[in-house]
Structure 1
Amino acid sequence: MNTLEKNAKPKQEETPMNPSEKRSNRKLLIGGLLVILISINGILLYMNYQKKEKTEEQAEVIRVKNSELENQIKVYEALKADFERQSQELQAMGLENDSLESKIAAITSDLNELRGFRKSSYSLADQRRFRDRASAFEKQLKVKDEEIAKLKEDNEVLFTENTTLKTTQNKLSDSLTTMKSTNQNLTEKVKVASRLEAQSLVVNVINQRGKEKEDNDNEFKAKRVDKIRVLFKLAKNDVAEKEPKTIYMRLIEPDGAALYNLSTGSGSFQIDGEDMYYTAKRDIVFDNTQQQVSFVYDKNAEYKKGQHTVELYSDGFMIGKTSFVLK
C-alpha cells in the first residue's frame, strides 16, 4: 500500500430515504403548490372584483348621465310646450310677441343639441349649462304667465264693459228702431190723412162746335164728342200742406187701356213702386180753399163706344174716380 492510499480517508456512503420521508416531502411540495395556486386565485378574484366594481361604477355613471339627459330633455319639451301655449293664448287675444317666438326657437335648438348627446358624451359641464338655461327659461315663463293672467283679467273687464255697452247700444238701437217705426207709422198716417180728395167729380163732353154738355146719368152719344172735360173740387184738408201738387188723370177706354199719347202730354208715374200710364196731368198749388180743378182732353180721334172710366191720382193715392158711357 502506497503512501496515497494510506493517507486517503475512506468514502462515506449516502443513506437512502425511507418511504415516510418521501411522502412527507411530497406533501410539502403539494402544499406549497396549493398555497401558490390559492394565492394566484385570490389575486385573480380580487382583480376581477375590482374590475367588476369599476365596470358597475361606470355603468351607474352612464345610467345616471342618461337618466339626467332624458330628464333634461323632458324639461325642455315641457318648456317648449308652455311657451307655445303662451304664444297661442296671446294670439287668441289678438296679440303677437316676437320674444316668445325667439324663445321657442332657442329651446328647439337646445332640444336638438340635447338629443344629440344620446349618441355622444353628456358631460357634467353640459349638465350644469343646460340646467342653468332651463332655470332661466322657467323664470321667464313664470313672468310671462303673470303678464298673460293680467291681460286676461283686463280683457275680462273690457269684455264685461263691452257687453254692457253693447246691451245699452242694443237697447238704444231698439228704441231708435221703435221710434223710427213709430215715426214711419206717423208719417204714413199723416201722409194718408193729408192726401187730397176730389169731390163733386163731373164729366162733361164738348162737341166740335165747342158746346159743352152735361148729363146726370153720364151718358153721351159718341159721335158728338170732340173733347172731354173733367171737373172736380179739392176737399178741405187742414192736415195737407199748402204746396204745389201734381194731379194725374187716367182716361180708361172700354177695353181697359188708358188713353196714352205723348204728343198730348201723356206719360207715366209710380204707384206702389210700379209704373202707371196717365192720360194728362195738372200742376196746381193746393191752398185748402176747396179750389176747382178741371181737365180738358182732346183725343184727336173718334172715341170708342162703351163705358169709360176716369181716375185721378196725387201723391201716390187715388183721389177720385167716376165713369161715363158713350153710346
Structure 2
Amino acid sequence: MSANTPETRSNRKLLIGGLLVVLISINGILIYMNYQKKEKTEEQAEIIRVKNTELEDQIKVYEALKADFERQSQELQAMGLENDSLDNQIAAITADLDELRGFRKRSYSLADQRRFRDRASAFEQQLKQKDEEIVKLKADNEVLFTENTSLKTTQTQLADSLTTVKSTNQDLSEKVKLASRLEAQNLNVNIINQRGKEKDDSDNEFRARRVEKIRVEFKLAKNDVAAKEPKTVYMRMIEPDGAALYNLATGSGSFQIDGEDMYYTAKRDFVFDNTQQLLSFTYNKNAAYKKGQHIIELYADDYLIGKTTFVLK
C-alpha cells in the first residue's frame, strides 16, 4: 500500500503549516524584543543627555556665582575693607565647582541635582544681600568723603582768603590757575612678574610674557601756588592699538577734560601737601598684555601732569 495517501499528504501539510506558524511567531517575538530594547536604549540615552545638560547648566551657574563673589571682594578691597565671609563663600563655591566637574566622569543623580540647586539658591540670596550692603557702604563713604573734602576746602579757603581777594582780576586768576598746576616728575615704569618680583629697565623695554602687573611711580614737583587740598590723579594706560585699558572690575571709569569724557585705567585720591610726594599705581590687567609701545598718561585737576612710554616685546 503506498505511503503517499491523501491522509498522509494532509498530515504533512498540517505539520508544515504548524512549523510556519511557529517560525512566524518566533520572528515576531524577536522583532518585538529588539524594538523594546531599542526603545529602552534610546530612553537611557535621552536620560543621560538631559542629566549632562543639567550638569553643564549647573556648572555655568556656579561659575557665574564665583565671578560675582570675586567682584564683591574687589569692590570691598577698593574701599579698603576686607570680608572673611566672602573669602569663605568663594572657597565653598570653588569646592562645589570641583565636585560638579567631577560628575562629568561619574553618575550625576537626581539627589545631587537637588542638592546643588538648593546650595546655588542659598548662594544667590547671600550674593543679593551683600550687594545691598556694598551699595550702602559706597553711599556712606561718598558722604564721608564729601564732608571731608568740604571741610578741607573750607580750611584752605580760610587760610588763603588774602590770596583769593587779590586774585579777583580774571587775568591774574588765570595765571594763578596755570601756576598751580601739578607736575609729575621722575615718571618711572617697572614690571612685576608672576613671582611678584619687580624689575626695571632704563630703556623701559620688557618682555610681555613675563608681565603680571605694571607699576607706575612718580614724584609731585614742589608747587607753592597749588592749594593744599584733596586731589585725584587719573592714570591712562594706552595700548599699542591706541585704546586705553578700561575695566570696571579693576577700578576703571571716566572723567572729563575740556567738557569731554575720557576713560581712565585707574585713579587714586590723595591730599596734596607740597612735600614732593611719591605716588604710584600698581595695575593688574588680569589678561595677557599686548606687544608694542604703551603710553602712560597722568591727569589731575583736568589737565595732563605727566607722560611716558614703555615697550613690551
Q: Please, what TM-score do these two structures have when normalized by structure 2?
A: 0.48
Please give the TM-score of this superposition, normalised by the length of structure 1: 0.46
